[in-house]
Amino acid sequence: MTDVIPQSRALIEKLGVEIDPELLSLALTHRSYSYEHGQIPHNERLEFLGDSVLGLAVTERLFTEHPELDEGSLAKRRAAVVSTVALAEVARGIELGEHILLGRGENMTGGRDKDSILADTMEALIGATYLSVGADAATALVVRLVGPLLEDPERYGAAIDPKTSLQELAASTGRTPPSYSVTAEGPDHDRLFTATVKVGELRTEGTGSSKKQAEMAAALLAWRELSGRA
C-alpha cells in the first residue's frame, strides 16, 4: 500500500482521520482526470456511498438533538445541510479544491472552485472514510464538518436559498437590494458561469456550471460576509 502523498497530508490533518491512501487518491480523482489518464477509476462510486453516509449521519444528529421538530422541519434542515451549496462551503473551509485531481480543461475553467465538483468530492471523501475506518468514524467526520451548519439555524435558509436570504438580510440592515451580473466561458457542453453580486459597497463572486448555481454561490458568500459568518 502506498503512503499518502505529501500534498494530501495537509488534507488528512484537516479531516482529523486517517484514510487509506489508495481510497484517498480515488476519492480525489475527478472523472475528467480519469478520462485523460487512460480511464483510471474515479470517485463517483465513492461519492454514491458517501452521499448515503452523509444523509444518515445528518438525519440521526437532527433527530436526536431536535425532538421538538416535526418531520417537515427535520427534512428541510437535512436538505440544507446536504445541499451542493452547503457541501461546497464545507469543502472550501478545508481547502479541498487544492487536492482534487482534475483534467486540464476542467482545471483551466475553474473546476477547483465549482460547487458541484467540491460537493461531489466531499461526499467521496466521506465514502472513503467509511470504508477506511468504519461507520462511527465517518459519522463523527460528518458531524465535525457540518457542525457550523447544524449549530446555526439561519444558515439552513441561506444554504437552501441564498439569494432570498441575502435579499432579506440586505433589507433588514438598510442596504441596497442585491444586483447580479453573470458571465460565461468555455464550450457549450462545459460552460463555467461566474456571477457577481453587489450589495452596497460589498461585491462578491461565485462560479458554477449554471447561471443559477453561480448566483447562489455568490449570494451565499455575500450573505456570510454581511452576517459575520465568513
In what helix (H) or strand (E) does residue 184 lie, and over which residues does it extend? strand 179-185
- Residues 219, 72: Cα–Cα separation, whole Å: 25
123 assigned to a ligand binding site: yes
120 assigned to a ligand binding site: yes
* DSSP category for residue 186: S
Tell me which residues are annotated as active site.
Answer: 51, 123
Note the helical H segments in 82-210.
84-93, 104-108, 115-133, 135-150, 153-160, 162-172
In 3D, which of 45, 43, 81 has the Cα closest to residue 60? 81
- Residues 129, 131: Cα–Cα separation, whole Å: 5
Are 7 and 100 in contact, with CB atoms under 8 Å apart?
A: no
Query: Residue 207 forms beta bridges with which residues?
Result: 194
**Residue numbers belonging to the annotated binding site for Mg(2+):** 47, 120, 123
Binding residues: 47, 120, 123
